[in-house]
Amino acid sequence: QICTEHPLAGRIDPTVAFFYSPDPKLESWISQYQSENPENRIVVPFSKKVLNNAIDDRWSLVNCLKQNLFIRDLFDYKLPLKSDRYFYGREDIVASIVDNVRKSQNSGLFGLRKTGKTSVLLKVQRAFEKSKDVETVFFDCKNRPIRRSSCDELAKRIVVEIDDRFGKKHAKKLNDSVDVFDVLDAAVQSIPAKKKICIVFDEIEYISPISPTDLHWRQDFIDLWQALWTIQTKYDKISYVVCGVNPTVCDIDRFESAAAAGRTVQNPMFSIFNVYYLKGLSLENLKNMITFFGSRMGLFFNDEAISMLFDEYGGH
């Protein structure tokens, strides 16, 4: 908190901090904190004992730095990034998606696994948390309760999320005598002026006709997106972002009908999304990232090494 407030905000190294305390349990506390918060800045603990020894032995400080700065592999982080501290590159795509949402236009983000798609979506979400003009609802479609839900059940979840974001009570109107999409329509209409909502569907394949597991989405996908698209055409307060590996859900114009054998049905997602393909980092971005993080670990890369990494992995 101190590092994000005046006068330190934006003026100090965002990746490393030196922390002094006379508490004899300082080092064990820092070690536990780092393991529980792997995305946090590197914290180097200076105990009272270390500083006292440093009066006569400068290696006391050097050894403390070595033990804490050079043992952590900053490149070895496999989960989506939930903060800006280690987010690197992708500024153009993030800016495009943010701009689309503010214009109430839809975005599709596709790319190979582990290229950072979810990290981009979380970055977009953080951008709106700062600006406070757009509320975001994030659905991880590979999550079992989401992919096992029906079209109407997922719509109910959206209604509940809108109620939660804007202090409404539309969910109380949900019953067997009312169509859930009528309630969703009213919920979107009630969003305050100058406010918008963005519904994010990560891993969209799991709730689409190409899902190999939950076959009910062959029909429910059509019903869901026909309704969502209808609501969006009525109100400019809602937009959608989908993300996945396979862009078929946005690219193909028709799907095989689940109700009539041998017939096809129009894909309601076709031509309503601005599609982006997430590629590897450019050589310049890769060089800046490797240089930045490597220096925090005591590693230095020459241009030939960075070029080899780029040629071998394509910035992935």
Please determine, for residue 189, whether its predicted confidence score (pLDDT) is greater than 90.
yes
Please determine, for residue 234, whether its predicted confidence score (pLDDT) is greater than 90.
yes
Contact 278/251 with Cβ under 8 angstroms? no
Of the pLDDT bands very low, low, confident and very high (cuts 50, 70, 90), residue 70 is: low
Task: Kindly report the backbone phi and psi dihedral angles of residue 70, in degrees, each rounded to the nearest multiple of 5, phi listed first.
Answer: -105, 5
Of the pLDDT bands very low, low, confident and very high (cuts 50, 70, 90), residue 119 is: confident
Mean pLDDT of 41-47: 85
Return d(Cα 293, Cα 289) in angstroms, integer: 6
pLDDT above 70 covers a percentage of the chain that reads 92
Q: Which tokens belong to 108?
A: 């599709």
Task: Kindly report the backbone phi and psi dihedral angles of residue 6, in degrees, each rounded to the nearest multiple of 5, phi listed first.
Answer: -65, 135
6-23 residue pLDDT tens = 888 878 877 788 889 988
Q: Exposed (0-12), middle (13-18) or buried (19+): which is 168, by Cβ within 10 Å?
A: middle
pLDDT of residue 84: 64
What residues contact residue 268 under an 8 Å CB cut-off, 6+ apart?
A: 222, 225, 226, 228, 229
Crossing angle of helices 283-296 and 303-313, rounded to 10°: 120
Mean pLDDT of 201-206: 93
Please determine, for residue 39, whether its predicted confidence score (pLDDT) is greater than 70.
no
CA-angle at 220, arms to 219 and 222, nearest 5°: 70
Amino acid symbol at 147: R
H runs (alpha helix) in 148-271: 151-166, 180-189, 217-234, 248-251
pLDDT of residue 308: 92
Contact 205/217 with Cβ under 8 angstroms? no
Kindly report the length of the chain: 316
163-172 residue pLDDT tens = 999 999 999 9
What residues contact residue 315 under an 8 Å CB cut-off, 6+ apart?
A: 279, 280, 281, 282, 283, 285, 286
pTM for the structure as a whole: 0.74
| Residue with the larger pLDDT of the pair 75 and 283 | 283
Return d(Cα 211, Cα 204) in angstroms, integer: 9
pLDDT of residue 280: 81
Amino acid symbol at 304: E
End-to-end CA distance of the chain: 33
Query: Which regions of the chain does DSSP assign to beta strands (E)?
Result: 16-21, 42-47, 106-110, 134-140, 196-202, 238-244, 254-256, 264-266, 273-277
Please determine, for residue 82, whether its predicted confidence score (pLDDT) is greater than 70.
no
Nearest CA among 209, 273, 278 for reference residue 242: 273
242-288 residue pLDDT tens = 999 988 888 888 888 877 777 888 999 998 999 999 888 888 888 88
Quote the mean pLDDT of the chain: 87
Of the pLDDT bands very low, low, confident and very high (cuts 50, 70, 90), residue 299 is: confident
Of the pLDDT bands very low, low, confident and very high (cuts 50, 70, 90), residue 47 is: confident
Return d(Cα 127, Cα 95) in angstroms, integer: 9
Of the pLDDT bands very low, low, confident and very high (cuts 50, 70, 90), residue 110 is: very high
141-166 residue pLDDT tens = 999 999 999 999 999 999 999 999 99
Strands 134-140 and 16-21 come out as unpaired
Return d(Cα 122, Cα 90) in angstroms, integer: 12
